[in-house]
Copies of this chain bind each other. A is one copy, B any other.
Amino acid sequence: MAGKSDDLTHLNPEGEVHIVNVGEKEDSRRVAIAEGWIEMAPETLERLIAGDLKKGDALSAARIAGLMACKRTWELVPLCHPIALTHASLELTPDRARNAVHCRARTETVERTGVEMEALTAVQVALLTVYDMCKAMDRGMRIDGVQLVHKSGGRSGTWDRDCQPG
């Protein structure tokens, strides 16, 4: 249930946007994990996998794009704080059962504010890059299920998707 402390914190009392004051918060180790899928035609997936087996370049381009983008999250999302990530990793896994590529990103910092947006941005841009690499053969691909999986650290503590009520 959304109580008063769960307000849209990026709006000030006049309802105007601002970058939330975190100066009073303490540095703490913060981790976030996000995931998402890009669904595609079976033959697109097979071509992608074949390309990957030969050279690894298509998924590797997407992996690097995601890692580079997550460092720039605060340039893209207006009210995100600039943050110095201490770690980022990202996996892209073809999933034949779902006709999709699964992406999972993990970000970490030791700062006053969390890294959920950084993990989500890594996933979004990695999946966009997969789309770009394959769009000449399949314009109908769809990015789906981009969501936070886990966060820990900071005043709000740990959150796990698996532990949420149904």
Q: How far is the CA of A85 from the CA of B81 in the complex (A)?
A: 7
Contact mask for chain A residues 1-44; partner B; CB cutoff 8 A; 1 contact, 0 none:
11000111111101111111111000001000000100001011
Q: How far is the CA of A139 from the CA of B79 in the complex (A)?
A: 17
Q: How far is the CA of A140 from the CA of B35 in the complex (A)?
A: 12
Within 8 Å by CB of A23, from B9, B19, B51, B87, lies B87
Taking the full assembly, how many copies of this chain does it contain? 6
Contact residues in B for A148 (Cβ distance below 8 Å): 139-141
Q: How far is the CA of A120 from the CA of B146 in the complex (A)?
A: 14
Nearest-CB residue, chain B, relative to A151: B139
Do B84 and A76 touch (CB < 8 A)? no
Contact mask for chain A residues 45-63; partner B; CB cutoff 8 A; 1 contact, 0 none:
0011001001111101101
List residues of A whose CB falls within 8 A of some B CB: 1-2, 6-12, 14-23, 29, 36, 41, 43-44, 47-48, 51, 54-58, 60-61, 63-65, 67-69, 71-72, 74-91, 108-112, 116-117, 120-121, 124-125, 128-129, 131-148, 151, 159, 161, 164
